[in-house]
Chain A
Amino acid sequence: MAPKSRAPATTPSTTAPTTTTASTPAKSSKSGSSSAPQDILTGIWNNYVNKTPSRVKLLDTFMAFLVVVGALQFLYCIIVGNFPFNAFLSGFSATVGQFVLTASLRMQTNPENSKEFEGTSHERAFADFVLGSFLLHFFCVNFIN
């Protein structure tokens, strides 16, 4: 809550140089002219929808799903209590770990990052992902009691 109220306060100072210099590309000056927080967010959203390949979007959906599941587990833990702590922990870390692994897969397969991962083909990245997930779930199942 605090940052949201703080964010507009900082915006006026930053808008001034944006409009005066106007050295940024056309797209940004369009959104920068009214750089209220919601404009920035919608800008990001549009950019995302337009630019991202559909395969990557699929991964993103999965990651969003994992975030939701993890948040639900956490909420349950807070409200109901963490009695089988092992179970909560392994369930929660399964989502976190899977999220992280999926994010890694997304980074490795994203064409934007191809220069970072020269030696890694998409198949290799997926094989790594499968290995990592396999290990992760093995540990989780072993830990869940």
Chain B
Amino acid sequence: MAVAESESVFTPATSRNTRGMLRVIILALIAAAAVSSRLFSVIRFESIIHEFDPWFNFRATKYLVQNGFYSFWDWFDDRTWHPLGRVTGGTLYPGLMVTSGVIYHALRFLTLPVDIRNICVLLAPGFSGLTALATYLLTSEMVTSPSAGLLAAAFMGITPGYISRSVAGSYDNEAIAIFLLVFTFFLWIKAVKNGSMFWGALTALFYGYMVSAWGGYVFITNLLPLHAFVLICMGRYSARLYVSYTSWYALGTLASMQIPFVGFLPIRSSEHMSSLGVFGLIQLVAFVDYVRAQLPSKQFQTLLRAIVLFVFVVAFGGLVLLTVSGVIAPWTGRFYSLWDTGYAKIHIPIIASVSEHQPTAWPAFFFDLSMMIWLFPAGVYMCFKRLTDEQVFIVIYAVLASYFAGVMVRLMLTLTPIVCVASAMAFSQILDTYLDTKTPKVDSKETGSSDAAKVAAAAVLPDGLRSTRKPVVGIYSYASKLTVVGASAVYLLLFVLHCTWVTSNAYSSPSVVLASRLPDGSQHIIDDYREAYYWLRQNTPDNAKIMSWWDYGYQIGGMADRPTLVDNNTWNNTHIATVGKAMSSREEVSYPIMRQHEVDYVLVVFGGLLGYSGDDINKFLWMVRIAEGIWPEEVKERNFFTPRGEYRVDEEATPTMKNSLMYKMSYYNYNSLFPAGQAQDRVRGARLPAQGPELSTIEEAFTSENWIIRIYKVKDLDNFGRDHQSATSFEKGHKKKRTAKRKGPRVLRVD
């Protein structure tokens, strides 16, 4: 960013070519900075896929690369959602996998054999460079000042709000989707400005790409019609708007329907209805506009009234008819939760249980956007000042995205681009005003009159801000210039520091591999996940079914390559609730469930030894809630709380809690690590009961080094047809047979 400043200092002296050259170099540097600031995790850990969803994307990409596009398209995956399976090809957004597949084959073609894993790991940083470029283009369409575009690109490159989803290894849909989002908006602005079918068609193409990449495409589907609608309402309808909107909609909708997962949604679901409605509206407006040009005004009014009435009756009747007959699907749950933040918690616990669907806490805004959060309103205000077609777009985008970002943490991602653009506009305005060296020349006028002129100009001219750029009302003293420029430079430097710090500390952890510090300050890598998954891969049969909570489904599929019952796709709530019920019930209830689903191994995550808080006991209440949603009379959330309403795991835990399979699996044998009666859970800070839980239907198979992952084998049916409880007690009795027999008489002796 310091480079961006120096560029505007250079301007008087250098020619246009040099400036263009500088701009290219600066953009390349920004892209390089964007890429390299995302590499913390690769350098600190290794080139590894992060978190949960990326593991599925990675697995799908490998499938695509190995089996080709067509079998990927028809892929039925029988190794997930056992016994149901998943029509993977038709239920995913293929954009990400196809992109990396294309890159892979292109590099092969250039005789650069790169491992597909490295392409997947580095895809997100690579696309972040492109995002910075797209932000530059978008901002340059908004304002004339070239420094605004460069600043916006730099902001976009390093802002934590975007880095959070695009560090190396976070191979998720958002990695390419944000680039596509920004670039589609750029093309749209271009189309509206020029009124050209070419740009409209390009918008539609990139919109189609975006649809294939991320479910967040609905944001575009609603924002562009809203922009068009607001422009029409402001009386700014023009033939250019008609051309750009209709060519985008006609082509873009068709393009979006090519994706099997989207299919007929664009004409069926309510989320897409606004764009269809605006499409119809703009046809009418165009027609009316055409007729108005042909007719004198009085006749036109008569005609207009008739048309408006007719259209209203037809449209309203049609809407009622379609809704009643059920052709238009009602709004999906995820969208209800956008309007009513409490909705999901009551009706769909599975959506509310995902942490990224929670409402945003306010410090997150400062954390992710730093100083831009207070520059952002200034930029939006500047857009209000001029309010051309494209600045209306900024205002609408800002308002909508701010709301959505407040509702869902994940949607902070859609807010980030507009914040970067708006705050870069505000910041470049400051810099352009205060970095102008020419102003002192017009000292011939006395200051008093120029002050008066300034007031008068501000009163008369509607665009007061632009008038301050005129030399007459410029900044006179060097001291004030230096102060403001210096302060801005300090802010920029602090911003860079903040972004780097946040990236390195908060967003660069793979969460598959954990890092901790030893007392001497050296780094200690905790690799329990991979240890356990590797154990599964090596020690279990190829088709052993693993039951775990859905969070770990993708990882088990990706790293251990074993079939799972549920995974992060969460398309079947009942199936997830079944697993939740098995986890939260007594062993006698769980065992038949596990037998019915052919479960061979059960995997739990337990952080009590290490103090790892993201473990299954902490997620347990969600399992209970989801199971309760399906079997309200068998699983009751209330029974897991003590009478005083506490969620406890120690001596005072409720019997339901103590007898639940999850509790037993987590704490089984745990007190053997400690001196008698000293067993301690370091996450919940609780001292555990002296007598640990007993397991009868499952047996411990593997526990990782730090006890984070524990794997249990589900026992086969008993050979003698006994139930497992009696079999276990018999085993125990058998082991202490002689003592028991001697103890039998002891009872007698007491008598």
**Interface on A for B, CB 8 Å cutoff?**
2-4, 6-7, 10-11, 14, 17-18, 24-25, 27-28, 31-32, 35, 37, 40, 43-44, 47-48, 51, 85, 89-90, 93, 96-97, 100-101, 103-105, 107-108, 112-113, 116-117, 119-120, 124-125, 127-129, 131-132, 135-136, 139-140, 142-143
Selecting from B112-120, B293-301, B451-459, the interface stretch reads B293-301
Cross-chain contact B251 with A10 (CB below 8 angstroms)? no
The interface residues of chain B, by DSSP majority, are classed as: helix
Cross-chain contact B299 with A31 (CB below 8 angstroms)? yes
CB distance from B9 to the nearest CB of A (A): 33
CB under 8 Å from chain A, chain B span 654-711? none
B264: A residues at CB distance < 8 A: 85, 89
Cα-based distance from A38 to B293 in the complex (angstroms): 19
Chain A CB within 8 A of B613 CB: no
Determine the residue in chain A with the shortest Cβ distance to B267. A89
Cross-chain contact A136 with B251 (CB below 8 angstroms)? yes
A11: B residues at CB distance < 8 A: 302
With A135-B201, A139-B255 already in contact, the answer to whether A25 and B296 are too (CB < 8 A) is yes
Listed A/B pairs (6) with beta-carbon separation below 8 Å: A2-B310, A32-B299, A44-B294, A93-B254, A97-B251, A117-B239
CB distance from A87 to the nearest CB of B (A): 13
Cα-based distance from A124 to B195 in the complex (angstroms): 12
Chain A CB within 8 A of B313 CB: yes
Q: Quick one: which of A90, A103, A128, A142 contacts B286, CB cutoff 8 A? A: A103
B238: A residues at CB distance < 8 A: 116
B250: A residues at CB distance < 8 A: 93, 96-97, 100-101, 136
- Binary A-proximity of B295-324 (CB < 8 A = 1, otherwise 0): 111110111011101100100000000000
Determine the residue in chain A with the shortest Cβ distance to B201. A132
Cross-chain contact A139 with B251 (CB below 8 angstroms)? yes
Cα-based distance from A129 to B243 in the complex (angstroms): 11
Chain A CB within 8 A of B197 CB: yes
Cα-based distance from A43 to B286 in the complex (angstroms): 19
Chain A CB within 8 A of B488 CB: no
Cα-based distance from A96 to B254 in the complex (angstroms): 11
Q: Quick one: which of A28, A101, A116 contacts B197, CB cutoff 8 A? A: A101
Q: Quick one: which of A7, A18, A96 contacts B305, CB cutoff 8 A? A: A7
Cross-chain contact B309 with A6 (CB below 8 angstroms)? yes
Cross-chain contact A132 with B255 (CB below 8 angstroms)? no
A107: B residues at CB distance < 8 A: 239, 242-243, 286
Cross-chain contact B302 with A48 (CB below 8 angstroms)? no
B503: A residues at CB distance < 8 A: none
A43: B residues at CB distance < 8 A: 295, 299
CB distance from B223 to the nearest CB of A (A): 20
With A89-B264, A107-B239, A132-B197 already in contact, the answer to whether A47 and B295 are too (CB < 8 A) is yes
Determine the residue in chain B with the shortest Cβ distance to A107. B239
A139: B residues at CB distance < 8 A: 251, 254-255, 257-258
CB distance from B209 to the nearest CB of A (A): 13
Q: When A and B form their complex, which 7 residue pairs have the shortest distance between CB atoms, in order from nearest?
A: A28-B296, A3-B310, A97-B250, A128-B197, A139-B254, A100-B246, A104-B243
Cα-based distance from A111 to B607 in the complex (angstroms): 74
**Interface on B for A, CB 8 Å cutoff?**
194-198, 200-201, 204-205, 238-240, 242-243, 246-247, 249-251, 253-255, 257-258, 264, 267, 283, 286, 291, 293-299, 301-303, 305-307, 309-310, 313
B204: A residues at CB distance < 8 A: 135
B201: A residues at CB distance < 8 A: 128, 131-132, 135
Cross-chain contact A104 with B251 (CB below 8 angstroms)? no
Cα-based distance from A30 to B196 in the complex (angstroms): 39
CB distance from B259 to the nearest CB of A (A): 11
B295: A residues at CB distance < 8 A: 28, 40, 43-44, 47
B247: A residues at CB distance < 8 A: 100-101, 104, 132
Cα-based distance from A120 to B197 in the complex (angstroms): 10
CB distance from B231 to the nearest CB of A (A): 14
B303: A residues at CB distance < 8 A: 40
A140: B residues at CB distance < 8 A: 254
With A132-B200, A140-B254 already in contact, the answer to whether A28 and B298 are too (CB < 8 A) is yes
Cross-chain contact B254 with A35 (CB below 8 angstroms)? no
B200: A residues at CB distance < 8 A: 104, 132
Determine the residue in chain A with the shortest Cβ distance to B255. A139
Determine the residue in chain B with the shortest Cβ distance to A112. B293
Which of A17, A43, A48, A107: most chain B CB closer than 10 A?
A: A107
Cα-based distance from A37 to B299 in the complex (angstroms): 9
With A131-B201, A132-B247 already in contact, the answer to whether A108 and B298 are too (CB < 8 A) is no
CB distance from A79 to the nearest CB of B (A): 17
Cα-based distance from A32 to B302 in the complex (angstroms): 11
With A28-B296, A97-B251, A116-B238 already in contact, the answer to whether A44 and B291 are too (CB < 8 A) is yes
B286: A residues at CB distance < 8 A: 103, 107
Determine the residue in chain A with the shortest Cβ distance to B297. A24
With A10-B305, A43-B299, A107-B242 already in contact, the answer to whether A120 and B251 are too (CB < 8 A) is no
A47: B residues at CB distance < 8 A: 294-295
Cross-chain contact A135 with B299 (CB below 8 angstroms)? no
Cross-chain contact B258 with A35 (CB below 8 angstroms)? no
